[in-house]
């Protein structure tokens, strides 16, 4: 099968198109024929071997064997199932998240039946389905689980034009929150159209000097800090950054000291969020922002673009043609 591999950390050019043996599903596994995957900011970091501490998991000197084919999000069709699989059968259209197993930059991927995967609803195509998974489920985890968002909450989404951000704005607006966003000039209208009632263009306006107060500041791109954001947090408010070792330390410290809290972590088990995502997509109630679509042969170019940190929403890779 065709796949894209990297055997050393580095720039997009470390990625190579290769032919690998087609995998066979284990007893509890589902083999998915992948039609669409994506290039996310997170996996570009994996390719670079950044942050450095991440190499403890990925491989200290070079990526270890199990992570050499990247690809976190996928949509496709079940090609075969193992004998103990009951939830899926050949021909089912599925979408999901490979997590630490990565491997969706390939024509086939075998996943455990209970992996973060679900049936695709009728309606969206494979590109839209694949592009929705990580952004939506991460926004869901941070806003629902960590931020405990409620109707009337005042929410600021930093990085509102990114993958997580475009879903965070929509999720917060659907929850009945008053949503403000931070993004660059060219995306102000987009973020307003997703449900933000006020948008700060970071190139001309500093949200920290606006006089606004928030119950939740969701820093999807970790371009700000708790130090800056605590000034705009209401009593009992929380700062939710998606990355940063220091934020883990601050999470522990602010849990003890009281006052505004830092809450962070990884969205790993995505089943509950995926079920909601599937419903919303099926009802046509969620907008999946796709910036670019590249065939797998152009994956190096897609990585170069995502590395700029300037993508709007999501970048999709088509692996095979699917309806």
Ligand X SMILES: NC(=O)c1ccc[n+]([C@@H]2O[C@H](COP(=O)([O-])OP(=O)(O)OC[C@H]3O[C@@H](n4cnc5c(N)ncnc54)[C@H](OP(=O)(O)O)[C@@H]3O)[C@@H](O)[C@H]2O)c1
Q: Which residue in 116, 161, 170, 318 binds ligand X (CB under 6 A)?
A: 161
Asked if 163 is part of the footprint of ligand X (rule: CB under 6 A), the reply reads yes
Give the whole-angstrom CA distance, residue 202 versus residue 309.
14
In angstroms, give the least distance from the CB of 31 to ligand X: 26
| 3-state SS class at 263 | coil
Asked if 165 is part of the footprint of ligand X (rule: CB under 6 A), the reply reads yes
Give the whole-angstrom CA distance, residue 227 versus residue 229.
6
Q: Residue 112 or 222: which CB sits closer to ligand X?
A: 222
Query: The tokens 């970790």 sit on which residue?
Result: 222
Burial class (CB in 10 A: 0-12, 13-18, 19+), 209: exposed
Compose the 284-313 pattern: x for residues touching ligand X by CB under 6 A, - for all others.
-------------------------xxxx-
Asked if 104 is part of the footprint of ligand X (rule: CB under 6 A), the reply reads no
| 3-state SS class at 142 | helix
Asked if 79 is part of the footprint of ligand X (rule: CB under 6 A), the reply reads no
Phi-psi region of 207 (alpha: psi -120 to 50; beta: other; left: phi over 0): alpha
Compose the 26-55 pattern: x for residues touching ligand X by CB under 6 A, - for all others.
--------------xxx--x----------
In angstroms, give the least distance from the CB of 189 to ligand X: 12
Q: Are strands 29-38 and 73-81 parallel, antiparallel or unpaired?
A: antiparallel
Query: The tokens 């409620």 sit on which residue?
Result: 150
Residues 258 to 287: which contact ligand X by CB under 6 A? Answer: 266-267
Give the whole-angstrom CA distance, residue 233 versus residue 71.
36
The window from 19-27, 106-114, 158-166, 209-217 that contacts ligand X (CB under 6 A) reads 158-166
In angstroms, give the least distance from the CB of 142 to ligand X: 7
Q: Which residue in 4, 182, 191, 194 binds ligand X (CB under 6 A)?
A: 182
| 3-state SS class at 61 | coil
The set of residues, in sequence order, having a beta carbon less than 8 Å from that of 186 and lying 6+ positions away, is 312
The window from 24-32, 97-105, 217-225, 292-300 that contacts ligand X (CB under 6 A) reads 217-225
Q: Is there a contact between 291 and 314 (Cβ–Cβ < 8 Å)?
A: yes
Q: Which residue in 164, 280, 302, 317 binds ligand X (CB under 6 A)?
A: 164
Residues forming the site for ligand X (CB under 6 A): 40-42, 45, 134-135, 138, 158-159, 161-165, 182-184, 187, 202, 220-221, 223, 242-243, 266-267, 309-312
């Amino acid at each position: 099968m065709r796949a894209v591999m990297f055997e050393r950390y580095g720039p997009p050019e470390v990625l190579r198109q290769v032919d690998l043996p087609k995998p066979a599903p284990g007893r509890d596994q589902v083999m998915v024929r992948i039609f669409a995957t994506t290039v996310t900011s997170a996996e570009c970091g994996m390719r670079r071997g950044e942050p450095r501490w991440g190499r403890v998991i990925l491989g200290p000197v070079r990526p270890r064997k199990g992570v050499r084919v990247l690809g976190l999000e996928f949509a496709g069709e079940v090609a075969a199932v193992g004998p103990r699989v009951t939830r899926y059968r050949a021909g089912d259209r599925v979408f999901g998240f490979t997590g630490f197993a990565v491997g969706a930059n390939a024509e086939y991927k075998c996943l455990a039946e209970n992996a973060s995967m679900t049936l695709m609803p009728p309606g969206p195509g494979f590109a839209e389905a694949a592009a929705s998974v990580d952004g939506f489920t991460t926004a869901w985890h941070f806003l629902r689980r960590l931020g405990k968002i409620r109707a009337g909450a005042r929410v600021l989404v930093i990085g509102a034009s990114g993958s997580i951000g475009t879903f965070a704005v929509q999720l917060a607006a659907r929850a009945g929150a008053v949503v403000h966003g931070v993004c660059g000039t060219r995306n102000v209208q987009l973020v307003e159209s997703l449900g933000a009632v006020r948008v700060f263009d970071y190139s001309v306006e500093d949200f920290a000097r606006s006089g606004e107060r928030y119950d939740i500041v969701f820093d999807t791109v970790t371009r700000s800090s708790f130090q800056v954001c605590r000034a705009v947090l209401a009593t009992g408010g929380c700062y939710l950054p998606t990355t940063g070792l220091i934020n883990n330390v601050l999470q522990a410290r602010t849990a003890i000291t009281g006052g505004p809290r830092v809450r962070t972590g990884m969205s790993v088990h995505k089943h509950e969020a995926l079920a909601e995502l599937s419903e919303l997509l099926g009802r046509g109630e969620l907008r999946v922002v796709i910036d670019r679509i590249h065939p797998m042969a152009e994956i190096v170019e897609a990585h170069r673009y995502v590395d700029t940190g300037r993508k709007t929403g999501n970048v999709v890779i088509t692996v095979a043609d699917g309806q």
